[in-house]
């Protein structure tokens, strides 16, 4: 199968509706970018307010790390369950329900709840946000053919970075001027406002598989997309070397995401000696670098695919080499370099490894039949986000037992994780090979 085909769905182009569909596709994509921005602003609050929260609630570093890991207690499970559900229920309604639920989960902390509610709220937030990334990606990809999916997928992924770029200085100001509880109120209100817009504008595109009755969309969906029948089960998809390889690589990326959200501000302040203001600005810079890397990867990958380069090279090896460069950056950070070089190494170690998230999603979408895509993406999400359960607790334990030196050992462990993930992407992933095997 050619790299530019959609598997297994085919779409009948309706010339009169094509411009309208293109506009709607980008409107929906923009809303989903905003969705992911709010999603990661929610996640980033605890890291940005780490010291005030620990002081106010009397938490040790290990307890604080456990609170961050509590977010991932149900996050991974619900990520997999939500992905499977998205193959049966229209994603537009799942996204609406998720954002309303996670907004409600923030309210108790904004209103003065204590330690017990901090843990409960993070668990509830994790359950609500677990399926967010795969379902947002599935919804965006339903508007585009395979050869055009890199940019929208990268934008959805970049939404996570845009969220922190905006949140780091903005929420830091709110925390400083109005207290850390006010920040939870801000993101809760933002989620409710997004839900109001999505309820009227959000829907799936012409490359989606119909999953339930929608009187307003059924006729257009049937005319625009006729998915080919498939008997490929989830077990066969999950057993491919490509799925295993991109999942391992995405795990490494998520390990770094979890550390960045939970511990990066503290690492910059306590481990590297930056002021709190400089730490917040560096956090924003690193997420901005990640956004640039994501969009650059999307442009490069799309350019290579349109020129006939295989997805093995255009996606997997571009992502795998990036992870190997990130591993080298983390390893160099542990040598204790200072000055401008440290900023460059932080960008290499923390600021470019996010490209694998987009590559993993588009690779799985390439090999999985449309009616199995949500489940394949959701199960991948469930596996990779276990990194978020492990990493924050591990770093908290290292900091409690070793002090500032614990951060250096955490970065060294991260270098090893990135090395393994990059190697898996480079050596295992070959979508064309696995497409052929699944078709047999």
Q: DSSP secondary structure string, 358-425? A: HHHHHHHHHHS-HHHHHHHHHHHHHHHTHHHHHHHHHHHHHHHHHTTHHHHHHHHHHHHHHHHHHHHH
Please indicate, yes or no, if residue 164 is contained in any of the structural domains: yes
Decide if pLDDT at 208 tops 80: no
Please tell me the distance from the alpha carbon of residue 153 to that of residue 103, in angstroms, as a whole number: 24
Weakest-pLDDT range from 7-21, 285-299, 301-315, 378-392: 7-21
d(CA 188, CA 168): 16
Omega within 30 of 0 (cis) for the link into 148: no
Give the Cα separation of 83 and 77 in Å (integer). Answer: 10
CB 276 within 8 A of CB 269: yes
In a domain, 7, yes or no: no
Going by pLDDT thresholds of 50, 70 and 90, the confidence category of residue 249 is very high
Residues in the chain: 440
pTM: 0.74
CATH number of the domain residue 256 falls in: 1.20.1250.20
Residue 384 lies in a domain: yes
Higher pLDDT, 72 or 267: 267
Residue pair 424/248 in contact by the 8 Å Cβ criterion: yes
Q: Is residue 247 part of a domain?
A: yes
Please indicate, yes or no, if residue 189 is contained in any of the structural domains.
yes
Residue 307 has a pLDDT of: 92
Per-residue pLDDT tens for 24-81?
Answer: 999 999 999 999 999 888 877 888 888 888 888 888 888 888 887 888 778 888 888 8
Which structural domain, as residue segments, surrounds residue 296? 12-439
274 within a domain of the structure (yes/no): yes
Judged by average pLDDT, the poorest of 39-43, 207-211, 366-370 is 207-211
- Rounded to 5 degrees, φ, ψ at 225 are -145, 130
Q: What pLDDT, on a 0 to 100 scale, did the predictor assign at position 17? A: 52
133-186 residue pLDDT tens = 889 988 998 898 877 888 898 899 888 778 777 777 888 888 888 888 888 889
**CB proximity list for 13: less than 8 A, separation 6 or greater:** none
**Count of structural domains within the chain:** 1
In 49-131, which residue ranges form alpha helices assigned H by DSSP? 50-57, 61-70, 75-85, 91-110, 115-129
In whole angstroms, what is the distance from residue 300 CA to residue 296 CA? 6
Q: Which residue has the tokens 């992911």?
A: 36
pLDDT at 214 (0 to 100): 41
Task: Classify residue 1: in a domain, yes or no.
Answer: no
Condensed to tens digits (0 to 9), the pLDDT of residues 285-330 reads 898 898 899 889 989 998 999 899 999 999 999 999 999 999 999 9
Residue with tokens 């709190």: 276
435 in any annotated domain: yes
Higher pLDDT, 73 or 375: 375
Percent of the chain with pLDDT over 70: 90
């Amino acid at each position: 199968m050619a790299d530019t085909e959609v598997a297994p769905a085919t779409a009948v182009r309706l010339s009169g509706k094509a411009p309208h569909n293109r506009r709607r596709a980008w409107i929906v994509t923009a809303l989903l970018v905003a969705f992911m921005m709010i999603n990661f602003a929610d996640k980033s609050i605890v890291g940005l307010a780490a010291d005030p929260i620990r002081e106010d609630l009397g938490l040790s570093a290990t307890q604080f790390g456990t609170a961050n890991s509590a977010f991932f207690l149900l996050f991974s499970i619900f990520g997999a369950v939500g992905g499977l559900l998205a193959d049966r229920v229209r994603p537009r309604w799942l996204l609406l329900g998720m954002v309303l639920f996670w907004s409600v989960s923030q309210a108790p902390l904004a209103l003065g709840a204590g330690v017990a509610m901090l843990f409960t709220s993070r668990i509830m937030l994790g359950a609500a946000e677990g399926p967010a990334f795969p379902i947002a990606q599935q919804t965006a990809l339903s508007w585009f053919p395979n050869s055009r999916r890199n940019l929208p997928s990268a934008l959805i992924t970049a939404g996570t970075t845009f969220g922190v770029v905006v949140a780091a200085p903005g929420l830091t100001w709110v925390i400083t001027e109005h207290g850390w509880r006010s920040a939870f109120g801000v993101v809760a209100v933002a989620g409710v406002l997004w839900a109001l817009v999505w309820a009227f504008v959000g829907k799936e595109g012409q490359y989606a598989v119909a999953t339930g009755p929608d009187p307003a969309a059924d006729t257009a969906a049937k005319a625009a997309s006729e998915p080919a029948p498939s008997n490929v089960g989830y077990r066969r998809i999950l057993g491919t070397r490509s799925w295993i390889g991109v999942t391992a690589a995405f795990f490494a990326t998520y390990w770094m995401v979890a550390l960045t959200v939970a511990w990066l501000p503290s690492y910059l302040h306590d481990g590297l000696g930056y002021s709190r203001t400089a730490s917040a600005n560096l956090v924003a810079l690193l997420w901005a670098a990640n956004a640039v890397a994501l969009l650059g990867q999307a442009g490069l990958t799309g350019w290579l695919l349109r020129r006939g380069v295989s997805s093995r090279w255009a996606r997997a090896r571009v992502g795998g080499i990036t992870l190997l460069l990130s591993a080298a950056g983390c390893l160099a950070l542990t040598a204790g370099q200072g000055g401008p070089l440290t900023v460059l190494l932080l960008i290499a170690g923390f600021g470019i490894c996010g490209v694998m998230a987009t590559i993993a999603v588009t690779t799985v979408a390439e090999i999985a039949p449309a009616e199995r895509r949500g489940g394949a993406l959701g199960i991948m999400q469930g596996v990779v986000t276990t990194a978020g359960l492990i990493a924050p607790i591990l770093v908290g334990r290292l900091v409690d037992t070793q002090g500032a030196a614990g951060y250096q050992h955490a970065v060294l462990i991260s270098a090893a994780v990135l090395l393994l993930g990059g190697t898996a992407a480079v050596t295992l992933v070959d979508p064309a090979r696995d497409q052929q095997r699944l078709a047999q």
